Amino acid sequence: MTDVIVRLPTVNHVDVDDAYTAGIVDGEGCILITRARRNLQLRVVVSNTNLEVLERLQLNYRGSVHVRKIYEPRKQIYDWAVSGPDATELLRQIIPYLIIKEKEAKIAVQYPHWTRKGAGALHPGKGTSVPEDIRRRREELAGRLLAERRR
């Protein structure tokens, strides 16, 4: 009789975090293109009563954690939000593991980022407006994302 050795695939720590995060975003999260002042902004938001989970998301994917005002006897709720290029990078990492929000994420990663100033800016120049073609593309993606969420 020959012994059979089963070799399991090695699991990368990052893959486990990405898969876990995809599950959290699928179940507790929201992928949005929202209005921020006069412009649109890509955001991923997760709400949860477990602060430790959200702090782990912040550690791995940046963003910020906020305490939501609640009234007794409700349990404290926290929100983790990541926006801009960090949100795009997060979605690119977790798309292979998303189930419920996969289509939304695939729309959202097409969001064109644009910065007014700083090294590597696409259109440097403080105080300049977002170009009209980028503004139109953002509006179109916001509409597609909203339509997908309503399905």
Q: Most distant CA pair in the chain: distance in Å?
A: 76
What pLDDT shows up at residue 129?
Answer: 80
Task: Give the chain as a 3 state SS string.
Answer: CCCCCCCCCCCCHHHHHHHHHHHHHHHHEEEEEEEECCEEEEEEEEEECCHHHHHHHHHHHCCEEEECCCCCCCCCCEEEEEECHHHHHHHHHHHHHCCCCHHHHHHHCCCCCCCCCCCCCCCCCCCCCCCHHHHHHHHHHHHHHHHHHCC
Domain count for the chain:
1
What pLDDT shows up at residue 72?
Answer: 85
CA atoms of 151 and 14, how far apart (whole Å): 31
What pLDDT shows up at residue 111?
Answer: 94
Residue 8 belongs to some domain of the structure: no
Residue 7 belongs to some domain of the structure: no
Q: Which residues of the chain have pLDDT under 50?
A: 118-119, 123-125
Residue ranges making up the domain that contains 77: 13-149
pLDDT digits (tens, 9 = 90+) for 86-114: 999 999 999 999 999 999 999 999 999 87
Q: Contact, 74 vs 67, CB < 8 A?
A: no
Q: Contact, 110 vs 141, CB < 8 A?
A: yes
Residue 4 belongs to some domain of the structure: no
What pLDDT shows up at residue 7?
Answer: 64
What pLDDT shows up at residue 93?
Answer: 96
Assign residue 30 the CATH number of its domain. 3.10.28.10
Residue 72 belongs to some domain of the structure: yes
